Structure 1
């Protein structure tokens, strides 16, 4: 009967060790965001689990004290209780009989250690990792009490731990609960498992890229701005409107750097429909003016209170450098949007039959890499250019002429079309590798 009680006590000690191990892994593996959600749902124990995570040093110290005490008690109790029963068996063996006491004690400790590792460590930890938040909510109230009981010991161990860590020159670093890289990894895992659609993943990732973008990377550059001069004859401005077909036009006076407003074709049509004299100044609306170093997210906030879906971008000297619309911002989030009046628009990047690439000078290095795999990001990261036309100027150091070319990173870049001083078209051809020559 006594032997059965001894075995039950030993089993209870191993189970207690497993309980502490399971609780430790469940609490440490629990996600704070998930626990906060459970708190909002009034889940029992969620608040206690969250409070333990907020002060991990105290509860980890308490758990470690408990595990250590149980481990010492298990080994001491098991060795003292059961080694005597095995000693006669080993004493009967002539070669090792003289060491029977030490051998029986060692055997019992090894046997107890084996079951402690399996039943008291590995299995409970697997259980704790299987559903950490649910288990954490269940055991947290118990460990709140255990932490309070062990608080004097926890204080001493935590204090000594902090002193030793400081001696090694390690300072505590507070890291955010979730970082952007983890979100990207979760999106990839969700897409691979089928929980998240691939289109949804692309849209969410484009939001992060959008948040880091400056409006200068998304704008319509100054040479491509179509605007109307308030001082020009109305017939000339109507010719520009008929040729371009936009829905809104900036209005400037004398020079493009003096943009004073914006007109809507709808308002213009209403006046023309009434057969009244067309006066742009009477239907002109205020236009939003923003600096070129503004972030795209900041511009969206400005658009919320603006009366126009179009903004003029100026540099530090007050000169107009570009134009941007809500449509441009939306395309940066969801990709190119096809429109009826742009069906015949020439693509920025075209694959030719010989494998070369014909690209528009306005193409960004990021767009080029995404479609072709040709990487100029190392150069563009220096901030010297934002477009492939800028890349050509950066590498050549002067305004090129049609037919000029150079080689870079295994590719030949040739200027095939110039629009005045602006680089319009670039031909990129892969050079043959040395072993194929």
Structure 2
């Protein structure tokens, strides 16, 4: 009975150690905020692992010594005497008596003292840690003199090994993505939720250039144009706001809301376009996405101009552009082509404007973090370093690339086929 009790105590200590070490601090803090005192104690233990581990190790070592002493001195000798009493030779009885007891105790210790308790700890690390933390804290206080000596000794050995100082526990972006993927697989979050969470993480990594609609795709009203031409531009656009320029293409003076101008045309009044112009914030092309979000949030026009270091107008970022990064691209007109399509033969038809980070996630292609391009077209140009011709092919990163369409000097469509391993 003493040996069984010692094995159970060993199992409780092993379970407590693994639970506190494996418990996620974020979950423990949430439990502590809800009034769980055990979770708060578990956080204290995890923040000072040296003392906690020393306390647990003292208990496990003492249990191991006592268990070995009792099993060898009592059970082993009793079995040896019984084997001799049934006629077994003395030397063989000595070996079998101690051997059988050691094997049996070791087996039970592995099951009840290690494997089962640790499996319980891994299944609910935070819950177990919150339950055992008060007892572990009490053990640490009782054995504090010995714990202090062991803690100091351990730190000294770590210093000799060049491991002095506290370890930095940081959560990387890859770990967060892995956790989200595991939650999706387990059904904790929906696939669409996973996509949106990934979009939020992508947003933080983008610059203004990676968010913007390029100037070639932006509709602009020119103050120098005739009223009829301006009217025709307004009727042809599906935008709710249009930029206004005064002079060349870099002289953007603001933006007008179409709803403000429609009334002028409806009443047959002369159009004084300048008085409808609203100022629009300006951001640099290398500005972080979160800086762009702040600029748009503080503006009533829900838009920002993107310029380069020379002041050249590069494009615009709207609140819709930011939302598209998170939720996916919205179809603006009937017949709009999607960013990427998988064909029946297994190949991929990719739009040149597709953001390169989404492209990398979709096709499992590694994109350098310091890349100087934002789209798939830029990715292709970075590989061949020149403007390709229609039908030109090349191989890269396990794929065969074929440029199937150009829009002027822009790469419009790329066909990608997976190469044999």
* TM-score normalised by structure 1 residue count: 0.83
Alignment pair present for 1:173 and 2:167: yes
Check the 8 A contact 2:198/2:326 in 1, yes or no. Answer: no
Bigger CA radius of gyration: 1
In the other structure, the counterpart of 2:239 is 246
* CA pair 240-284 structure 1, distance change in 2 beyond 3 A: same
User: Equivalents in 1 of 2:132, 2:420: separation in Å?
Assistant: 64
Listed one character per residue, the Cα deviations across residues 322-376 of structure 1 (whole Å, up to 9, x for unaligned) are: 111111111111012234xx114355567889988766543444565677x595x
User: Equivalents in 2 of 1:335, 1:146: separation in Å?
Assistant: 54
* TM-score normalised by structure 2 residue count: 0.86
User: Equivalents in 2 of 1:28, 1:349: separation in Å?
Assistant: 44
In the other structure, the counterpart of 1:307 is 300
User: Equivalents in 2 of 1:360, 1:14: separation in Å?
Assistant: 64
Alignment pair present for 1:383 and 2:371: yes
1:22-421 matched pairs, under 5 angstroms: 22-91=15-84, 96-98=89-91, 104-171=97-164, 172-176=166-170, 178-339=171-332, 342-347=333-338, 360-366=351-357, 373=363, 383-391=371-379, 393-395=381-383, 397-399=385-387, 403=390, 405-409=392-396, 411=400, 413-414=402-403, 416-419=405-408
Listed one character per residue, the Cα deviations across residues 33-76 of structure 1 (whole Å, up to 9, x for unaligned) are: 22222212212422222221222221111011011011101211
User: Equivalents in 1 of 2:126, 2:410: separation in Å?
Assistant: 59
Listed one character per residue, the Cα deviations across residues 353-408 of structure 1 (whole Å, up to 9, x for unaligned) are: 9988766543444565677x595x55x766343334445544554556x6573433
User: Equivalents in 1 of 2:302, 2:331: separation in Å?
Assistant: 19
Question: How far did 1:267 drift?
Answer: 1.3
Moved more, 119-128 or 306-315: 119-128
* CA pair 396-99 structure 1, distance change in 2 beyond 3 A: closer
Moved more, 94-103 or 292-301: 94-103
User: Equivalents in 2 of 1:127, 1:348: separation in Å?
Assistant: 47
User: Equivalents in 2 of 1:355, 1:103: separation in Å?
Assistant: 66
Give the length in aligned residue pairs: 418
User: Equivalents in 2 of 1:361, 1:9: separation in Å?
Assistant: 74
Moved more, 40-49 or 142-151: 40-49
Aligned CA-pair RMSD: 3.3
User: Equivalents in 2 of 1:357, 1:47: separation in Å?
Assistant: 52
User: Equivalents in 2 of 1:360, 1:200: separation in Å?
Assistant: 25
Q: 3-state DSSP class of the match of 2:250? A: strand
User: Equivalents in 1 of 2:319, 2:9: separation in Å?
Assistant: 62
In the other structure, the counterpart of 1:423 is 410
For structure 2, the 5+ residue unaligned runs are: none
Q: 3-state DSSP class of the match of 1:290? A: strand
Check the 8 A contact 2:296/2:318 in 1, yes or no. Answer: no
Q: 3-state DSSP class of the match of 2:251? A: strand
User: Equivalents in 2 of 1:111, 1:19: separation in Å?
Assistant: 20
Listed one character per residue, the Cα deviations across residues 232-278 of structure 1 (whole Å, up to 9, x for unaligned) are: 33222222222223211111211121211111011112344455432
In the other structure, the counterpart of 1:4 is none
User: Equivalents in 1 of 2:344, 2:104: separation in Å?
Assistant: 73
User: Equivalents in 2 of 1:431, 1:80: separation in Å?
Assistant: 69
Check the 8 A contact 2:350/2:416 in 1, yes or no. Answer: no
For structure 1, the 5+ residue unaligned runs are: 1-7
Listed one character per residue, the Cα deviations across residues 90-139 of structure 1 (whole Å, up to 9, x for unaligned) are: 55688852475565445434433333332222233233333333332222
Check the 8 A contact 1:412/1:431 in 2, yes or no. Answer: no
User: Equivalents in 1 of 2:352, 2:210: separation in Å?
Assistant: 14
